Amino acid sequence: MDYQFVTYSVKDRIGFITLDRAEKRNALNSQFISELKEVFKTAEDDESCKVIVLEANGDVFSAGADLEYLQSLQSYTRQENIDDSNHLMGLFKQIYYLKKVVIASIQGHAIAGGCGLASVCDLSIAAESSKFGYSEVKIGFIPAIVSVFLLRKIGEGKTKELLLTAKTISAEEAVNIGLINRCVPKEILKKSVLDLAQRLCTTASEESLSSTKLMLAELQNISLDEGLDLAVQKNAIARENNDCKKGIEAFLNKKDINW
């Protein structure tokens, strides 16, 4: 499929999804969201891709919603606004439950919806110069959809602080509160992300990565006892799969294993 706002390529089992609307600071609109949904589905189904990197062209990772898009929302009916909100929710939920690990490579500022996009990725590395923030309340809007994921990720206290104050924070602070995993000098960002993606590709079973990611998502919705029961079932199922048998055999025989 030809995309207007994104590109997709695969190299050495790493799928690269690139936000490619640099002239508009990678601002999101309905078409952009549709293309992201399609390309994430393509990457998920692509057998040559084991790990996904979400990156962006230009100086900004994503500035959030496109201004023309925001203006058009003012004339929407309630149902049109519900449908449009479901559209963005669907993208965030898709990434959260995607069968493959998604690493965000954040080279520049991630604001509002752009920060939400980075937040729902499984792992994230940012340039030290990048900034993060949810500015919705400043324009009379609310950061509704991302709040569901933020509460899970960084807890109620920090979520309230970010969303109610709409303050912009540094990459270092984003690491400290658990919003992202690491920040590095911009000149080594690509190498740092590539090293992480390659490590997952070569040292971990694809089936194990997928099962662990989806199990962690499920555990958020259930009680402690239900979670322990689920863990027991997942543990038993994992022991039956070929990757586990292959891995244990290699470990017991002190052989290297190339996943």
User: Does 242 fall in a domain?
Assistant: yes
In terms of residue numbers, what domain contains 216? 205-252
User: Does 259 fall in a domain?
Assistant: no
Neighbours of 71 (CB within 10 A): 10
pLDDT at residue number 258: 78
Our answer to whether residue 136 is catalytic in this structure is yes
Mark whether 189 and 219 lie in a shared domain.
Answer: no
pLDDT at residue number 203: 93
- Please give the mean pLDDT across all residues of the chain: 94
Structural domain total, the chain: 2
Q: Are 162 and 176 in contact (CB under 8 A)?
A: no
User: Does 225 fall in a domain?
Assistant: yes
Reading the chain (259 residues) residue by residue, the pLDDT tens digits are 689 999 999 999 999 999 999 999 999 999 999 999 999 999 999 999 999 999 999 999 999 988 888 888 888 999 999 999 999 999 999 999 999 999 999 999 999 999 999 999 999 999 999 999 999 999 998 999 999 999 999 999 999 999 999 999 999 999 999 999 999 999 999 999 999 999 999 999 999 999 999 999 999 889 999 999 999 999 999 888 888 878 887 777 777 787 8
Mark whether 139 and 216 lie in a shared domain.
Answer: no
User: Does 223 fall in a domain?
Assistant: yes
Reading the block at residue 163, the tokens are: 């969303």
User: Does 1 fall in a domain?
Assistant: no
Residue from 35, 44, 55, 136 carrying the catalytic annotation: 136
pLDDT at residue number 2: 83
- Going from the C-alpha of 197 to that of each of 14, 113, 128, 207, 243, the distances in angstroms are 7, 25, 19, 16, 19
User: Does 257 fall in a domain?
Assistant: no
Neighbours of 88 (CB within 10 A): 21
The domain that contains 140 carries what CATH number? 3.90.226.10
Mark whether 174 and 240 lie in a shared domain.
Answer: no
Q: Are 177 and 124 in contact (CB under 8 A)?
A: no
Mark whether 124 and 244 lie in a shared domain.
Answer: no
Mark whether 121 and 147 lie in a shared domain.
Answer: yes
Mark whether 162 and 245 lie in a shared domain.
Answer: no
Mark whether 45 and 150 lie in a shared domain.
Answer: yes
